[in-house]
Amino acid sequence: MAEEIGAIVDIEITIPLPSEGAIDRTYRIEGTARVAEMVGAPPWVYAQIHKKDWFKPDIIEETNYERGLPIPVTGNFSIKWTPKKLGIYDVTVVATPAPLSLPVVGVPPITGQSDTMKFAATEKPEAGLEILACSFV
């Protein structure tokens, strides 16, 4: 049943997260979300951000959501996220038929999801070093 529900929305990531970055810096995920075999986009797209800690069991690890609003006809979306803690994150873009902040019982069903992106948050670079590092790109 979960596979059938997951096939309703196709999510394609066009600009993924980098594999690592600095804390307190904003990153953007861009892509498209379309209802399969139909024109249009699902109304709610979120980045599901799961912080992985080697010493914590999965049940008590942190999971947060950042919302992106897809454009109704094209399905293009953009989600901004700023990591606040050092660590390794698993980030997946998910689509839902209802806002995650308003579930009646539990979390609304996920009707589509992207591949998981790994992100390692490291120390924030010192002032000036970040500009120097960007000039070599």
Q: In whole angstroms, give the CA distance from residue 114 to residue 65.
A: 14
Q: What is residue 4's predicted lDDT score, i.e. its pLDDT? A: 41
Report the percent of the chain where pLDDT is more than 90: 30
Report the phi/psi class of residue 133: left, alpha or beta, with left for phi > 0 and alpha for psi in -120 to 50.
alpha
70-127 pLDDT, tens digit per residue, is: 888 788 999 999 999 998 999 999 888 777 765 445 556 778 888 999 999 988 765 5
What pTM was computed for the model?
Answer: 0.75
Q: What is the chain's Cα-based Rg? A: 16
Q: What is residue 110's predicted lDDT score, i.e. its pLDDT? A: 78
For position 82, which CATH number holds?
2.60.40.10
Q: What is residue 92's predicted lDDT score, i.e. its pLDDT? A: 92
**87: containing domain:** 2-135
3-51 pLDDT, tens digit per residue, is: 444 458 888 999 999 999 999 999 999 998 888 766 667 778 899 998 8
Q: How many domains does the chain have?
A: 1
